Amino acid sequence: MEQKEILKGIIPPMITPLNKDFKIDRKSTEKLVDYLIDGGIHTLFILGTTGEGPLISKAEQFKLAKFVVEYTEGRVPVIAGVSAPSSLEVLKNIENLNESGLDGYVSTLPFYDKTNLKEEIKHFEILAAESELPIIIYDIPVKVGQRLSEKALENLVEVDNIIGLKDSSSNLRNFRERVEKFRHKKDFSFALGHSDMIDISIYLGADGVVPSDVHLFPELCVEIYNNAQKEDWIKARKLQSELNKKRIELYNSFPAQSRANNKVCKKHLKAKGIIASDYIMAPYI
């Protein structure tokens, strides 16, 4: 498998099925993996934001990664979030997952103190140098407290073992500028992390999309992507509008305190009988 393929297509930021003791629910995880793969997705992204990765113990992180890789049996690539407040803590997460058989790691900037330009670059250079698997940069200002700077990205696209960017910055103009500026880098991929813009993502040059709503409507998300790939923009736009309407109706059906993506996804998946419970890592409800 080429590294570029890891960030191509529809990439679910998979929720983590939990029991009431906050341990991994293996049976539910099996059903969820099959449900997503049967829906046509291209890569599984575990332990990310929607997957509550930083909230889960290292022991359970490893159990989940190893189990998902083994159960998937190579049907699709599996990548995992390893984000933490410091570079050294990210490296500990990588070391913890090293024997699980993953295809790559995804990391944000550190998220306790803000970093300057040199520190942004240094963080990912450290990860790229120490990791045996490829590193994907995750730009999500709402969780980290700052955006990845353009100057940092300009440097990092040239670093060996850094293969792509998952952009969840909610800035389409900036995303377009990033793609156009670095489109010539054939070994560097771009994915957008927004469910309501799958068609636009591909139109702007993204290789893949990481939509949490793929938990709710997997076939529809994949169909939007497939039509966008074929440059049938009218069909893709029509399907995207259908998805957006459905997602708004579904999200509005839940109480305001349950509007976070992973909470709604878990409640919906439980109602469909795919997972056994909708537990969220304590103290969140």
Which positions are annotated as active-site residues?
138, 166
50 marked ligand binding residue = yes
Whole-angstrom distance, CA of residue 252 vs CA of residue 264: 10
For the chain, the helix, strand and coil percentages under 3-state DSSP, each to the nearest 5: 50, 10, 40
Q: Other CB atoms closer than 10 Å to residue 83's CB: what's the count? A: 23
Which region, left, alpha or beta, applies to residue 279 given φ > 0 means left and ψ of -120 to 50 means alpha?
beta
Chain Cα centroid distance, residue 163: 15
Angstrom distances, CA of residue 222 to CA of 37, 135, 163, 201: 11, 25, 23, 13
What is the 8-class DSSP label of residue 139? Answer: E
210 marked ligand binding residue = yes
**Helices 117-130 and 87-97, interaxial angle, to 10°?**
20
Q: Which of 239, 155, 139 is nearest to 190 (CA)?
A: 139
- Known binding-site residue numbers for pyruvate: 50, 210
- Known binding-site residue numbers: 50, 210
